[in-house]
Amino acid sequence: MTQSRHETQSTYETERKYEPTSPGAGGRLPDLTGAGPVASVTEAEIQELDAVYHDTADLRLAGAAATLRRRTGGADAGWHLKLPPTGDTREEVRAPLSEQVPEALRELVLSRTRGAALDPVVRIRTVRSVCLLRDAEGGVLAELSLDEVRAKALAPGGGSAAWTELEVELADGVAPGLLDKLEKRLGKKGFAPSDSASKLDRALRETGVRARAARPGAAGQPEPGTPGAHVLAYLREQVGLLVAVDAAARRDLPDGVHTMRVTCRRLRGCLRAYRSVLDRRITDPLRAELKWLAGELGVERDQEVLRERLGAGLAALPDELLLGPVAARLQVWDAGRGGEARARTRRALGSARYLRLLEALDALMTEPPLRAKASGKTGKVLGKGVLKEYDRLVERMEHALDQPPGQVRDVALHQARKEAKKVRYAAEVARPALGKPAGRLGKRAKAVQKVLGDHQDAVVAQEVLRELGVAAHAAHESAFTWGLLFGQERSRAGQRRRELPETWHRAADPALRDALNH
């Protein structure tokens, strides 16, 4: 799959690397004819590749399993940024050949480099023998490459290394299961899976670059199994996700901004629920900055939700109920608000404030400000954190359900929805320690959140539909369709309010609370 973003191309590679296990195995490409659906193999082609890898002085990209290189030779000469893999698949973002690191790629690694200089760290030259594995109809299944590699560190006095490796990369659309079949045959041909994630990983290790760039280890970490260990494990996972999803959010890829916003909320929720574990004098300012970032991202996400909701509403109507240029008006409305929201996201992610937040989160992981209860009784400390959030939700829900119909009740329900999210996130942190009770509470809080979320979306949609109807009327267009959609959203909001008491009753189960309290 290929996508264009800011003069770059994005491709996805599914591949595995192997090393010869005997002296004779690495001399030539193995014949894989008959391995699974492989019916024929093309004649080998020789390529000469020359790549210079760039990273920060302390190898922040390599530490995150990302690589940035300038490569000449072969059919894809240019700049290549490989993002951290998911299983056997990883994304490669390419930019045209230039002398300096392209700004588009520099931006995509900003969450990892934090603005540190990207300099050449190692040069890797490869003589590659390539053949294609084809099925019975001649279709390409995979590319098989045998690489003779020479690596040299670019710092003064840097070392060098040489080795042979084999790479299998699946063609687009080929099921990943083929890799297992090929691996079985390769084992018989004298090849074993490589213990290096990439050429760069091996080059940094064997030339000594990685050892010279090693950073100090984390200090002051909690003992395993303690409340502090559970809270830090959750925070570390979410901070990693925040950094990892940055590139997707910058390119406006599906769910990129949404995932980043939810991650901010999870981090804020954890820091709030477990203030007995981490010193709030350190974490409260972080919560404020995470709130700022989620708010900046929320403008674009909310616009996306509204666009999809209103677009689906129009698409569901029969043609005879679409009176006037409704699709065009919706498109113009979205273009205006959507462009402004996207620009706001980009400004936030390009700001020094955002980079300071990432640095502060790193510092929190490296030197966590642990309080005495971080080493207390795990069940008691984590259970109390969940129950505090739960009690706030009970208070909010009781207040909201007591309100008369109207805007005041809608606002109160929206506030209750926020509390339901916080209960859910607190339960996520505690579930590894508290087990099923925390899991059940999290699921029931999510159900409440879902009902209240659809209610809130319907409330907001009504406001926008009214604005669109007024604008259409002022332009001497029919406002009928907008009024019809307004009525549907009002009905949907009413339906969610009627569902809420039963959904809340399941979440407010006293037995579940008792289980968490013990």
With a pLDDT cut of 90, the percent of the chain lying above it is 87
Q: Kindly write down the DSSP assignment for every residue of 98-109, as one continuous string.
A: -SSPPHHHHHHT
pLDDT tens digits for 110-139?
A: 999 999 999 999 999 999 999 999 999 999
Whether 391 has a pLDDT exceeding 90, the answer reads yes
Helix (H) or strand (E) holding 35: none
pLDDT tens digits for 327-380?
A: 999 999 999 999 999 999 999 999 999 999 999 999 999 999 999 999 999 999
First CA to last CA across the chain, in angstroms?
Answer: 51
Q: Which of 467, 466, 455, 463 is nearest to 492 (CA)?
A: 455
pLDDT tens digits for 179-231?
A: 999 999 999 999 999 999 899 999 999 999 987 776 666 667 899 999 999 99
Whether 97 has a pLDDT exceeding 80, the answer reads yes
* Amino acid, res. 59: L
Which residue reads 């191309």 in tokens? 9
Other Cβ atoms less than 10 A from the Cβ of 117: the count is 10
Q: Note the pLDDT of residue 251.
A: 93
CA–CA separation, 315 and 485 (whole Å) = 11
pLDDT tens digits for 239-276?
A: 999 999 999 999 999 899 999 999 999 999 999 999 99
CA–CA separation, 148 and 152 (whole Å) = 14
Written in H, E and C, the secondary structure of 264-319 is HHHHHHHHHHCCCCECHHHHHHHHHHHHHHHHHHHHHHHHHHHHHHHHHHHHHCCH
Residues 305-319, buried b or exposed e (16+ Cβ, 10 A)? bbbebbeebbeeeee
Q: Which of 158, 167, 159 is nearest to 88 (CA)?
A: 167
Whole-model pTM: value is: 0.89
**Residue 3 in contact with residue 9, Cβ under 8 Å?**
yes
DSSP strand E in 404-448: where? none
Q: In the beta sheet, which residues pair with residue 91?
A: 12
